[in-house]
A and B are shown apart, each in its own frame.
Chain A
Amino acid sequence: TQLLEQSPQFLSIQEGENLTVYCNSSSVFSSLQWYRQEPGEGPVLLVTVVTGGEVKKLKRLTFQFGDARKDSSLHITAAQPGDTGLYLCAERSGTYKYIFGTGTRLKVLA
């Protein structure tokens, strides 16, 4: 079974700081998704990356897919309190199964 490891597990930073969180796999991803989950809610999809080396930007969030498609990163520039939440990576394994990482819990202090 493919495992997705995320690091760090917890991150507490001041407003305005930059940060990067990572998602690593024991094998090659077919595609990778990043989700954000806020307290009391379900995860919400942020982005899907498919091609090795791919970079996608969503406002202050930059997502990168490793060249070998075994790792991915999420970089947040000038973090804001509204970025607080649990960030999850997930791989679609085949057509119908999904494997999620353990998550990075981010807290941005005002």
Chain B
Amino acid sequence: EAQVTQNPRYLITVTGKKLTVTCSQNMNHEYMSWYRQDPGLGLRQIYYSMNVEVTDKGDVPEGYKVSRKEKRNFPLILESPSPNQTSLYFCASRGQSNEQFFGPGTRLTVL
């Protein structure tokens, strides 16, 4: 089944404790992207990757890092999480068409 998977689905952590949210797709898509979703603000793009080893900032990249060492994986790294990074995070991938396929989301709480 074609899908985008994210792990973990839920995470509660404390300020300053480094964490990684994994994202993997099995559709051989070149493009992948991370978003955060907050009430009243919609989805905002954090980072995106056009292909292996090629990444760029979206609209809200501060406090986040990404890497794209393999085509199928695009982890989101929070080196020193803060409470304002409490949010619902989505990973997405896109092939040759304009259709993005989204993962199920990761709900992160930073205390």
Contacts and interface: CB of A to CB of B under 8 A. Distances in A.
Interface residues of A, number: 23
Interface residues of B, number: 24
B102 A43 contact: yes
Interface stretch (B13-21, B66-74, B92-100): B92-100
Contacts of B42: 4, 88, 100-103
A42 B98 contact: no
Contacts of A102: 40-42
Nearest to A33: B98
A78 interface: no
Contact of B99 (A40, A45, A95, A103): A45
B53 to A, nearest CB: 15
Interface of B: 4, 31, 33, 35, 40-45, 48, 50, 56, 58-59, 90, 92, 98-100, 102-105
